[in-house]
A and B are shown apart, each in its own frame.
Chain A
Amino acid sequence: MKSVRCLVTGAAFAAIAAGWSGAALAQETVTVWFTKGFYKGEDDALLAVVDKFQKATGVKVDLSLYATEDCVTKSVGAIEAGTPPDVGFCTTYDFRTTGKWAFDGKLEDVTDVIEPMKAEFQPQALATTFLMNNKTGKKSYYAFPVEQQMMHITYWKDMLEEAGFKESDIPKGWNGYWDFWCDKVQGSLRAKGKRIYGVGHPMGIAASDTFYSFLTFANAYGAQVVDENGKIVLDQPKNKAAMIEAVKSYANIFQRGCTPPSSVNWLDPDNNVAFHNRTTVLTHNATISIAAKHLDDMNNPALTAEQRAQAKKNYEDNIRTAEFPLKPDGGVMPNLAAVKTAVIFADAKNKKRAKEFMAFLLKDENLRPFVEGSVGRWFPTTIAGAKSPFWTDGKDPHRAIVHKQYSDGTVPFQFVYNYNFTTVNAENVWAKAVNRVVQDKIAPDVAVDEMIARIKQIAG
């Protein structure tokens, strides 16, 4: 009797175990991990691509969607464990891992997919996926440019008017621009007894917004950090002097009391929060997510009609998206663009199908709805996508500015040329230098010396 029981129990466990693992053997599968979209339209477009691909090839796409930070964490864990997905697209891969993975030989060379469609991509976007592999000693295409982002200025037009100014009063020059928001607009609102700050200025060391914003300032002053071979050139006198000016300029906004004191501790959402609750009149942000929130709200059936109407007014009238002012030397600002990269892992089980899937996704008719589903947060990396009426018909005031900024030209982050800058950014050497000036009261040139020394330690 006992042995019969044992047998039955054993058989039950075996059946359960078989059930757990057996289903995966039935059909050819390609495993795909993506960052979950901000909006339903984004994911619906992706699901439509997946559906079309499955019907066209008979291959099952095992799609998993993750929160932004979870996506990259999970990918790193899977690579360490030797079980990566076939395709990965997390919107922080470019900041964190793509360059390093390519350098360490963890990514599949996708030149054979990119080459036939090379002419369809914006050259500067495509260039960011041409990466060095230390194992082969050669550069090659190790990633797909899917979409991109850059810095934008966002301000409350109604608060500006409340301060007694018109949009036409906003200066175009660098110093005049910041003086206007800090002295005139903030001063006027303070005179009315309102505790409002002119600028929401990310200063927190733990925020990626801070290094994105700071590097925009560094670009404005022409502080070149690396050359195209990845060699550090920041210690050259011209670049060092420019970087000192950038640190001074960035720190100055805090020092003159133009941003909330808490901004030294801000995380990424906090400048958005301060803007939404009208503590600040202006902020700079790495997508148009602030305005897009109101676009989303105005179409959200879960909100009341009154809330939707207010969101519509905010999106269409009250909130403005704008370019950065002209550089201190009077030139047009080069826009720092971050290209979001998808990859196929070298240890992937089904690389052939993974390449087919990515080639399929990157077709204009598939990629465009996916990018446009983000209602303007992400900009296309393809030439056709950038010419789409979604960006060019002029009906949307925010997207029109985004399109103009990309048309003005973009420059890549340093990590495209030297992957160690992902570590420099993660450590936020830039924010640390600024905080040394504003909190520890050291001179900007000393802070830049420390910055250069640390950068050389990490990326030299």
Chain B
Amino acid sequence: MKQLFFIASLFVSSLSLAGQSEVEIPYLIPDSIIIDSSLDSTSLLYFNFPNATDLSSLSISYSLDGVQGEHSLVTNQGDLQLEATAGHHELQFFYSSEYYEEYTTINIEAGRRYYYSVYFTSSEMIILTEKPVIYLYPEKEQEVQVNVEPAGEFTFTYPKYNDGWKVLAAPNGKLTIDENTYNYLFWEASDRLTLDEVDLNVGFTVAGSDITRFLEEKLTQSGLNSKERADFITFWGPRMAAHDDVFLQFQFNKECDRYAELEIDPKPDNVYRIYMIWQPVDQLRIAPEAQEIPVMNRDGFTVLEWGGKELPSTKLVRTL
């Protein structure tokens, strides 16, 4: 993976600007081009796969302009060698489900030998669990101890997490720590997630332009109040609205233990956790089954936590 950063692509021309959080990592690196007049009107393409080494698959599926083939990685046959005429060609490579499928278009001239390195990108990603915020609504003003055990490492907490947060919580939701008043406790952590873990068959696809209305509807349905909803929507909404379409899936309560365990003392009467996993889908290719939204019970000492994860925009299905 590290190597990918060494070698910048010939195909990527975007500079990472504000708002564009993702940096494209190139995967098809032209290593060299040799003029060979003996080749006449065709050209030869050679591909090597430097990081296809983890034995999760012993061959690579490829297609050149829709014509598929298999390239064995174990018979020592060396580089994959393909022949093509001058012009544009569509290429696809698939290694295993632990890596993204890669596809691109190349433009070649006749009478050349082209040498490429193809790097696969692992679909196991370190992804931030973003902005979980915790609101506490006790029935009377009382000291509350809150502990979070994230699946990965904390990347940010506020107010500072120090073996937990010890707060003086009031029924109106005000939290006092060291004479400072807060509305919520904030943490962020990074952990590993494989795309395989996300069940794309359940959730929603929503147009970016419709995201505010959609979130308002679902969050109101789940029982968040207008302030909590505003915190959620002003955090996620602008990022989601920047895409044509997004896929999103809510996860609730026990399901959220996968990201972090939450311990609160004294024990609340009701804890409601709602996480949203989402990713941009610029070509709609999935039609998930809509999710049921459980309704929050706000009786007695109530705790609400919301957070989420943005997954990178990727090909959602194997197309090869």
Is B truly associated with A? no
Q: Which residues of A contact B (CB under 8 A)?
A: none
